[in-house]
Amino acid sequence: MSDDGEIDVVACEETPLGLVCLRRRAAAGAPGAFATELTIDHQFLMSSVNTDSERALAEHALALHGGDALGVLVGGLGLGYTAQAVLASPRVARLEVVELLAPVIGWLERGMLPLSDALRGDARLRVVQGDVYARLAAPPASPDELRDLVLIDVDHSPDERLGAGHASFYAEAGLVAARRHLAPGGVLGVWSYAESSAFADALRRVFAEVHVVPVPFENTVVGGDEVNWLFFAKAR
pLDDT digits (tens, 9 = 90+) for 37-66: 999 999 999 999 889 999 999 999 999 999
Query: Count of H helices and E strands in the chain?
Result: 7, 11
The answer to whether residues 72 and 98 touch, using CB atoms and an 8 Å cutoff, is no
Give the integer Cα–Cα distance in Å for 53 and 110: 26
- Residue ranges in 88-140 assigned as alpha helix (H): 102-109, 116-120, 132-137
pLDDT digits (tens, 9 = 90+) for 135-183: 999 999 999 999 999 999 999 999 999 998 999 999 999 999 999 999 9
Please report the pLDDT score of residue 211 as a whole number.
99
The answer on pLDDT for 236 being more than 50 is yes
pLDDT digits (tens, 9 = 90+) for 76-119: 999 999 999 999 999 999 999 999 999 999 999 999 999 999 99
Give the integer Cα–Cα distance in Å for 62 and 71: 11
Distances from the Cα of 216 to the Cα of 6, 128, 186, angstroms: 27, 31, 26
Is CATH 3.40.50.150 the right assignment for the domain spanning 52-234? yes
Please report the pLDDT score of residue 2 as a whole number.
43
Looking at per-residue pLDDT, the higher value among 217 and 125 belongs to 125
Q: Average pLDDT, stretch 209-215? A: 99
What does the CA dihedral 177, 182, 184, 189 come to, rounded to 10 degrees? -110
Please report the pLDDT score of residue 6 as a whole number.
82
Share in percent of the chain as helix, strand, coil (round to 5): 30, 35, 35
The answer to whether residues 229 and 194 touch, using CB atoms and an 8 Å cutoff, is yes
How deeply is 6 buried, as exposed, middle or buried, from its count of CB atoms within 10 A (0-12, 13-18, 19+)?
exposed
Please report the pLDDT score of residue 184 as a whole number.
98
The answer on pLDDT for 32 being more than 80 is no
How does residue 18 score in pLDDT terms, banded at 50, 70 and 90? very high
pTM (predicted TM-score): 0.94
The answer on pLDDT for 125 being more than 70 is yes
The answer on pLDDT for 186 being more than 60 is yes
Please report the pLDDT score of residue 221 as a whole number.
64
Spatial CA neighbour of 202 closest among 170, 226, 236: 170
